[in-house]
Chain A
Amino acid sequence: MTTTKSPALPLPLPAAKALVLAGGLATAASTFIHWTWTSEFPGDLTVDGYPGGLQILTLAAGLLIALFSLPLYGVKGTRWLTPAGPNAPVLVLGAAAAATTWFTLIAIATELGGLANLEPGGWIAGVASLLPLIGALGLPQTGPTVGLPSSGGVLAITRHYLGSFTRLVGPNPDLAPVKPLNRWVETLIIIAVAGLGLTVFTYGIVTEYGELFIGFLILTALGTWALMRAGLVSRLTALTARHRGTTTAAAFAAAAAFPFTQSDDHFASVGVNILIFATVALGLNVVVGLAGLLDLGYVAFLGVGAYAAALVSGSTSSPVGLHLPFWGAALVGMAAALVFGVVIGAPTLRLRGDYLAIVTLGFGEIFRIAVNSLDGVSGPKVTNGPNGIRNIPDLDILGFDFGQAHTFGSFTLGRFANYFLLMLLVTAFVVTVFSRANDSRIGRAWVAIREDETAAQAMGINGFKLKLLAFALGAALAGLAGTVMAHVSYSVVPDPYQFAGAVPPNSAFLVAAVVLGGMGTIAGPLLGATLLYLIPEKLVFLKEYQLLVFGIALVLLMRLRPEGLIANRRAQLEFHDKDTDTAAPAETDDAPASTDPGSTAGLTTAGA
Chain B
Amino acid sequence: MTTQTVPAPRPEGTAAATPLLEASGVVMRFGGLTAVNNVDLTVNTGEIVGLIGPNGAGKTTFFNCLTGLYVPTEGTVRYQGTVLPPKPHLVTSAGIARTFQNIRLFANMTVLENVLVGRHTRTKEGLLSALLRGPGYKKAEAEGREKAMELLEFIGLDHKADHLSRNLPYGEQRKLEIARAMASEPGLLLLDEPTAGMNPQETRAAEELVFAIRDKGISILVIEHDMRFIFNLCDRTAVLVQGQKIVEGDKETVQNDERVITAYLGAPLEGATDTAASTEADQ
Residues of A whose CB lies within 8 Å of any CB of B are 432-433, 436-437, 440-445, 447-448, 451-452, 454-463, 469, 473, 568, 570-571, 573-574, 577, 580-581, 584-585, 587-589, 591-592
Contact = CB atoms under 8 A, between A and B. Distances in A.
B120 interface: yes
Interface in B77-97: 87-89, 92-93, 97
Chain B contact patch, size range: 35 or more
A545 to B, nearest CB: 37
A580 B163 contact: yes
Interface string B100-118: 1000111111100100111
A580 B160 contact: yes
B161 interface: yes
Interface string B122-159: 01011100110100010001101100010000000011
Given A447-B109, A458-B69, A587-B162, A442 B117 contact: no
A305 B69 CA distance: 39
Centre residue among A459, A581, A587 by max chain B CB count within 10 A = A459
Nearest to A447: B109
A444 B145 contact: no
B167 A577 contact: yes
15 contacts: A440-B141, A441-B119, A444-B120, A448-B106, A448-B109, A451-B107, A455-B104, A457-B69, A457-B92, A458-B97, A460-B92, A460-B93, A568-B108, A584-B163, A588-B158
B92 A445 contact: no
Contact of A458 (B98, B108, B164): B98
Contacts of B242: none
B162 A437 contact: no
B34 interface: no
Contact of A460 (B104, B113, B121, B162): B121
Contacts of B100: 455, 458
A564 B118 CA distance: 29
A441 to B, nearest CB: 5
Contacts of A436: 130-131, 133
Given A441-B125, A584-B163, A587-B162, A460 B109 contact: no
3 closest cross-chain pairs (CB), A and B = A460-B121, A440-B130, A460-B92
A469 B161 CA distance: 28
A577 B104 contact: no
Nearest to A445: B120
A459 B93 CA distance: 8
B109 A459 contact: no
Contacts of A587: 162
A445 B117 contact: yes
B125 to A, nearest CB: 5
B118 A591 contact: no
Contacts of A462: 89
Given A441-B130, A469-B127, 5 more contacts: A448-B117, A457-B87, A459-B117, A570-B164, A573-B110
A460 B92 CA distance: 5
B67 interface: yes
B184 interface: yes
B119 to A, nearest CB: 8
A589 B153 CA distance: 13
A584 to B, nearest CB: 5
A442 B127 contact: yes
A441 B108 contact: no
Given A460-B93, A461-B120, A442 B130 contact: yes
Nearest to A577: B167
Given A437-B130, A441-B130, A591-B141, A584 B92 contact: no
B109 A570 contact: yes
Nearest to A448: B117
A458 B131 contact: no
B180 interface: yes
A443 B109 contact: no
B127 A591 contact: no
Contacts of A452: 104-107
Contacts of B105: 452, 455
A442 B126 contact: yes
A23 B127 CA distance: 57
A81 B164 CA distance: 31
Nearest to B177: A455
Given A461-B120, A473-B127, A451 B159 contact: no
Contacts of B145: 589, 591
A95 B195 CA distance: 53
A568 B133 CA distance: 23
B88 A457 contact: yes
Nearest to A452: B104
Contacts of A437: 127, 130-131
B188 to A, nearest CB: 13
Nearest to B127: A442
Contacts of A445: 117, 120
Given A451-B109, A455-B104, A570-B164, A440 B125 contact: yes
A187 B79 CA distance: 57
B184 A571 contact: no
A457 B89 contact: yes
A459 B130 contact: no
A571 B163 contact: no
A382 B203 CA distance: 69
Contacts of A457: 69, 87-89, 92
A571 B18 CA distance: 47
